[in-house]
Structure 1
Amino acid sequence: MLILLPPSEGKAAPARRGRPVDPAALPHPVLAPVREELLDALADVSGRPGAAEALGLSPGLADEVARNVSLRTTPARRAIDVYTGVLYAALDHATLTPAGRRRANRWVRVQSALWGPVAPTDAIAPYRLPMTASLPGVGTVAARWRAVLAPVMTELAGDGVVVDGRSSSYASVWRPTGDAAKAYLGVRVFSEVAGRRTVVSHAAKHTRGLVARWICEADRTPRTPKALAALVAEHRPCELVPDPRGGWFLDVDAPAAASVG
């Protein structure tokens, strides 16, 4: 089982004390050179005037972007404590049962634009870098990751079901191919508006967090897309739809409260 989530746009403030991130000490040391490369390029851009705009971010985030300059000395904290927002509030890692928390730590990976795939307990520093950004000497961040991620992600997925809750820019860096694609499910979220089903955004993040939570708290590990859809259907109406590229979409109805927010 592999549950893929996007990072949150907002992130918690850096810890006040503690050790900084060691890129080579994070899981998948084969990715350390890319992490180092991105760290250097991001620090360079973030120290320049107009850095936020250069990264495709709002000028109002200038202070947070400026922190990128000192990421090598910033105290690290658990990834699950760095990422905030509605998706992570719905997952609510802290209130999972002990068994559910162990499953989340083993199954969930956040697709970070800076650190690569990170588990909830991996120590990282808060940063500002969208996957769509282009960095000097690196190019587009998504393309850089796409060039190296396949072996790592394929090993993480194994022969289990891959549940993809990432947004499109993060999903673009890797998805299983060939026979492995048969166990892939991209989670889409819909809401009923005036009798028509429409794709939702804010509620989608909330619902994808809930889907991850339901899977981790279940008393069984779904071994097929059909079994996983049956598990989610115990909580929300959903439908398994073939993806023309291979694999499946899991179309989930947004909870009424979330579709209003």
Structure 2
Amino acid sequence: MLVLLPPSETKADGGDGGPLDLGALSFPELNPLRRKLIDALVDLSADVPASLAALGLSERQQDEVARNGRLWTAPTTPALRRYTGVLYDALDAGSFRKSELARAERRLAVASALFGVVRAGDPIPAYRLSGGSGVPGFGTLRSLWRPVLEPVLAEVGELVVDLRSGTYAALARVPGAVTVRVVTEDAAGRRKTVSHHNKAYKGKLAAALATSRATPSTVDGVVSVAVKAGISVERTGEHELELVTGA
């Protein structure tokens, strides 16, 4: 089972790993495009106003541009520690036991506008590039990643649980992947999509799937793991699930 997570705009600083080595990352087929994008961001960082405009940043976020300038030299840390924010707080990888972390590193992967997709243990530097950004001279990230990333994800050969947000799901389709919609249910049984706490609930589901001793290979297996973890999940289609929260 591979659980695809969205990335986060915020990234932890520093790391105790050496500089970025593309050869140390999973899915090496993506390395040629990874290298082109990294080089482009490093070059772009020399022009701060152009970087701010391309990345959709404010003047107060110039440190993000500086991060991109150090992509080849900055320290690295495993992806699961690099990404921060609501989903990763709920995932709470820091609380995993050694055996759970080992399972999580096999099962979790993070979508990335810069790297395409990385596994949880892959060592990466801090960077700034979101799925909706554009890199001058490269067109849209969707047009770049789709023809390269879709064949790679199609060859995963195991059940894929897709928890990516729409922006990152657009970078590569994964036919047959299990998708999850977070909904709230009122006293009358009416359901509506949850937006504000969506990431937190997906983080909890990801934690359950990542650490479970069972390895689900079917949609029903995913439901079973979630329910055992106290998460209300229902199957609503061949590959669709709804995670039901309280009103």
Q: Name the TM-score, length of structure 1 as normaliser.
A: 0.85
Q: Which residue of 1 aligns with 2:133?
A: 133
Q: CA deviation at 1:224?
A: 1.0
Q: Which residue of 1 aligns with 2:231?
A: 236
Partner amino acid, structure 2, of 1:154: A
SS in 2 for 1:137: coil
Q: Which residue of 2 aligns with 1:225?
A: 219
Match for residue 210 of structure 1 among 204, 209, 213: 204
Q: Give CA deviations for 1:86-109 in whole Å, capped at 9, x if unaligned.
A: 111111112223332121110111
Structure 2 CA distance for partners of 1:61 and 1:200, relative to 1, 3 Å:
farther
Match for residue 171 of structure 1 among 164, 169, 172: 169
Q: CA deviation at 1:152?
A: 1.9
Q: Which residue of 2 aligns with 1:186?
A: 179
How many aligned residue pairs are there? 244
Would the aligned equivalents of 1:53 and 1:59 in 2 still touch at CA under 8 Å? no
Once residues 27 and 133 of structure 2 are traced to their aligned partners in structure 1, the CA distance between those partners, rounded to angstroms, is: 23
Measured on the aligned residues, the alpha-carbon RMSD in Å equals: 2.1
Partner amino acid, structure 2, of 1:188: R
Q: CA deviation at 1:215?
A: 1.3
Would the aligned equivalents of 2:20 and 2:124 in 1 still touch at CA under 8 Å? yes
Once residues 41 and 94 of structure 1 are traced to their aligned partners in structure 2, the CA distance between those partners, rounded to angstroms, is: 33
Match for residue 249 of structure 1 among 217, 230, 240: 240
Unaligned runs of 5+ in 1: none
Instruction: Confirm whether residue 36 of structure 1 aligns to residue 31 of structure 2.
Output: no
Q: CA deviation at 1:59?
A: 4.2
Structure 2 CA distance for partners of 1:133 and 1:218, relative to 1, 3 Å:
same
Partner amino acid, structure 2, of 1:57: L
Q: Give CA deviations for 1:101-125 in whole Å, capped at 9, x if unaligned.
A: 1211101110111122111211100
Q: CA deviation at 1:253?
A: 1.9
SS in 1 for 2:4: strand
SS in 2 for 1:198: strand
Once residues 134 and 80 of structure 2 are traced to their aligned partners in structure 1, the CA distance between those partners, rounded to angstroms, is: 26
- List 4+ stretches of structure 1 deviating above 3 A: 57-60, 192-196
Once residues 180 and 58 of structure 2 are traced to their aligned partners in structure 1, the CA distance between those partners, rounded to angstroms, is: 28
Unaligned runs of 5+ in 2: none
Q: Which residue of 1 aligns with 2:99?
A: 99
Q: CA deviation at 1:58?
A: 4.2
Q: Give CA deviations for 1:167-190 in whole Å, capped at 9, x if unaligned.
A: 01111122333xxx1xx2111111
Once residues 230 and 30 of structure 1 are traced to their aligned partners in structure 2, the CA distance between those partners, rounded to angstroms, is: 34
Q: CA deviation at 1:41?
A: 1.6
SS in 2 for 1:227: helix
Partner amino acid, structure 1, of 2:106: R
Q: CA deviation at 1:80?
A: 1.5
Would the aligned equivalents of 2:74 and 2:125 in 1 still touch at CA under 8 Å? yes
SS in 2 for 1:175: coil
Q: Percent identity?
A: 42
Once residues 199 and 155 of structure 2 are traced to their aligned partners in structure 1, the CA distance between those partners, rounded to angstroms, is: 26
Would the aligned equivalents of 1:189 and 1:251 in 2 still touch at CA under 8 Å? yes
SS in 1 for 2:22: coil
Q: CA deviation at 1:32?
A: 1.2
Partner amino acid, structure 2, of 1:218: S
Once residues 249 and 60 of structure 1 are traced to their aligned partners in structure 2, the CA distance between those partners, rounded to angstroms, is: 41
Q: CA deviation at 1:194?
A: 8.0
Q: Give CA deviations for 1:107-166 in whole Å, capped at 9, x if unaligned.
A: 11101111221112111000000011111222111221111012321222x1x3211111
Q: Name the TM-score, length of structure 2 as normaliser.
A: 0.90
